[in-house]
């Protein structure tokens, strides 16, 4: 771990604990800083605060006192989930006190180079693919950020011959000052997290921060087929590596109906890629580019692509049973995500959908329903989905009470060669605490199907 003279013997406030705040506080303490942590959760219910107090840090819990910043802090490190509208953060900025996110600290202490991945969709899949490719190629990757372990905790132990593959959200990227990945990736930009960001421009500017400090010694991999991303790419000073999912090109990485190409040279047949869907092809191409730039052997890249069946709950192939394939896409909590999943299949589909009715339209699905032979639906949206399915003339539209019944009905409706796809287009909160538990239920029911 690199030493940071800028924090040594300085008073630093860590605002918000959870995993990232706790890791940052402990690291700053080890670097010789005088650390105060402040968390809204009461001390007697706050295991992280109790642990840090035992390490000798100053702990303030239960509220954010108005005079908190009067202690003369040189720096504030905030949990990514705390917005910049938070009164303490806003006052720190007003007073000219630097405010870091935890990933800024991670970058500054790391002896290992960093690969940073961001975008509205596909971050986790891309991060996992790159990690798997580099591991297969003996490139000593570590995985961090929104996926896996807190970035600063990974960075504090990383060695020079390793590489940190880091999933980065807009929350983490907003406000970075020095972070400079060796390779950065911007997959796509769609409207999201406007409850955190003041507007769409603030959100997209935060995403673009992943490359803002890069220079000609670095690489920026980006989606050249999305105009907004291409416009941002013009401002990057890194070496640019565009990706194209719909045509062969002479620069960057691209794919047509048959092959994948690197700078116009054929790499391999596209058919070897196990992941389905155009949206996943974006993730695949970006991952290949990063692995090639890290000098990962092509044979290792191909091996991963031919065996990688997806991240859990994201168009994840659960199993093949009696020549039917079952996919878990519980992460699809809106129609846009379900549209992307449907787009990836040419086989007949039995679609399982439903959940919390957020009042949004399902019309985005209409162009992708041509091979949906049955819609099995449950949850708070049953009335709307029943009407939608009937209006779109889906051959079979079946209302059930819960996911267990939905799997039973889907099996009855399926035939050899069909795909059974859980892609709810709705949030889970009416029947499940989160989409992960919903996906786990689906996996459990599918794995319980018996071979006859």
Q: How high is the pLDDT of residue 145?
A: 82
- Report d(CA 381, CA 328) in Å as an integer: 19
120 is in an annotated binding site: yes
Say if residue 265's pLDDT is above 90. Answer: yes
Mean pLDDT (whole number) for 404-413: 97
pLDDT interval class at 234 (50, 70, 90): very high
DSSP secondary structure letter of residue 253: E
Q: Where are the alpha helices (DSSP H) in 158-256?
A: 170-173, 200-208, 227-233
- The pTM assigned to this predicted structure is 0.84
- Report d(CA 37, CA 106) in Å as an integer: 18
Q: How high is the pLDDT of residue 257?
A: 92
Q: How high is the pLDDT of residue 135?
A: 97
124 is in an annotated binding site: yes
Cβ contacts of residue 6 below 8 Å, gap of 6+?
75
CA distances 37 to 1, 414, 417, Å, are 22, 55, 57
Q: How high is the pLDDT of residue 385?
A: 97
Among candidates 388, 383, 360, which has minimal Cα distance to 372?
Answer: 388
Mean pLDDT (whole number) for 155-171: 95
Q: How high is the pLDDT of residue 66?
A: 81
Residue 6 and residue 138 in contact, taking contact as beta carbons nearer than 8 Å? no
Residue 422 and residue 446 in contact, taking contact as beta carbons nearer than 8 Å? no
Mean pLDDT (whole number) for 164-185: 94
Residue 312 and residue 153 in contact, taking contact as beta carbons nearer than 8 Å? no
Say if residue 158's pLDDT is above 60. Answer: yes
Say if residue 128's pLDDT is above 60. Answer: yes
pLDDT interval class at 192 (50, 70, 90): low
Evaluate the CA torsion angle 275, 281, 285, 290 in order and state its sign: negative
Say if residue 398's pLDDT is above 70. Answer: yes
Long-range (24+ apart) CB contacts under 8 A made by 27-32 are 27/1, 27/105, 27/109, 27/152, 27/153, 27/156, 28/77, 28/105, 29/55, 29/56, 29/57, 30/156, 31/1, 31/3, 31/4, 31/7, 31/109, 32/7, 32/8
Among candidates 146, 113, 140, which has minimal Cα distance to 127?
Answer: 146
- Tens-place pLDDT, residues 409-452: 999 999 999 999 999 999 999 999 999 999 999 999 999 998 64
Mode of pairing for the β-strands spanning 58-61 and 34-39 = parallel
Among candidates 413, 419, 362, 357, which has minimal Cα distance to 388?
Answer: 362
Cβ contacts of residue 388 below 8 Å, gap of 6+?
362
Radius of gyration of the chain (CA): 24
Percentage, residues of the chain above pLDDT 90: 82
Say if residue 357's pLDDT is above 90. Answer: no
Mean pLDDT (whole number) for 226-238: 96
Mode of pairing for the β-strands spanning 316-321 and 253-255 = unpaired
123 is in an annotated binding site: yes
310 is in an annotated binding site: no
Say if residue 193's pLDDT is above 70. Answer: no
Nearest-10 Cα torsion for 68, 72, 75, 79: -10
Say if residue 323's pLDDT is above 70. Answer: yes
122 is in an annotated binding site: yes
CA distances 326 to 166, 312, 386, Å, are 30, 13, 23
Instruction: Show the domains of the chain with their CATH numbers.
Output: 11-97 (3.40.50.720), 104-307 (3.40.1190.10), 316-447 (3.90.190.20)
- Report d(CA 324, CA 414) in Å as an integer: 7
Among candidates 182, 264, 267, which has minimal Cα distance to 218?
Answer: 182
Q: 344 or 90: whose pLDDT is higher?
A: 90
Average pLDDT taken over every residue of the chain: 94
Q: How high is the pLDDT of residue 194?
A: 67
């Amino acid at each position: 771990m690199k030493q940071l003279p800028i924090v040594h013997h300085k008073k630093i406030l860590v605002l918000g604990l959870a995993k990232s705040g706790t890791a940052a506080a402990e690291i700053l303490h080890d670097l010789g800083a005088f650390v105060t942590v402040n968390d809204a959760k009461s001390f007697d219910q706050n295991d992280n605060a109790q642990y840090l107090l035992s390490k000798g840090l100053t702990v303030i819990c239960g509220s954010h006192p108005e005079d908190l910043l009067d202690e003369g802090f040189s720096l504030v490190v905030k949990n990514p989930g705390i917005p910049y509208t938070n009164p303490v953060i806003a006052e720190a900025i007003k007073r000219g006190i630097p405010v870091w996110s935890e990933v800024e600290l991670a970058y500054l202490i790391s002896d290992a180079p960093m690969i940073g991945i961001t975008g509205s969709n596909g971050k986790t899949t891309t991060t996992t693919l790159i990690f798997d490719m580099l591991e297969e190629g003996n490139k000593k990757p570590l995985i961090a950020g929104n996926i896996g372990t807190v970035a600063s905790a990974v960075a504090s132990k990383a060695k020079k011959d390793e590489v940190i593959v880091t999933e980065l959200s807009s929350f983490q990227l907003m406000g970075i000052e020095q972070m400079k990945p060796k390779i950065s990736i911007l997959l796509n930009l769609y409207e999201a997290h406007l409850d955190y960001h003041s507007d769409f421009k603030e959100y997209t500017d935060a995403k673009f921060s992943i490359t803002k400090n890069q220079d000609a010694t670095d690489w920026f991999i980006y989606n050249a087929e999305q105009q907004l991303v291409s416009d941002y790419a013009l401002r990057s000073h890194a070496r640019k590596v565009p990706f194209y999912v719909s045509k062969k090109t002479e620069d960057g990485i691209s794919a047509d109906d048959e092959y994948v190409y690197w700078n116009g040279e054929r790499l391999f047949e596209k058919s070897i890629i196990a992941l389905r869907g155009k949206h996943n092809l974006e993730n695949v191409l970006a991952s290949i580019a990063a692995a090639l730039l890290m000098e990962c052997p092509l044979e290792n890249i191909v091996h991963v692509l031919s065996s990688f069946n997806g991240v859990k709950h994201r168009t994840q192939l659960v199993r093949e049973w009696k020549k039917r394939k079952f996919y878990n896409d519980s992460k699809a909590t809106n129609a846009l995500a379900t549209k992307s999943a449907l787009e990836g299949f040419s086989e007949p589909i039995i679609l399982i959908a439903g959940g919390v009715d957020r009042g949004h339209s399902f019309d985005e699905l209409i162009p992708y329903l041509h091979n949906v032979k049955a819609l099995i639906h449950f949850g708070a949206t049953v009335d709307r989905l029943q009407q939608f399915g009937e209006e779109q003339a889906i051959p079979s539209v079946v209302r059930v009470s819960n996911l267990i019944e939905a799997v039973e009905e889907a099996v009855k409706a399926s035939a050899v060669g069909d795909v059974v796809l859980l892609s709810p287009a709705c949030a889970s909160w009416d029947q499940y605490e989160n989409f992960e538990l919903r996906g786990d239920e689906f996996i459990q029911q599918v794995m319980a199907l018996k071979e006859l």
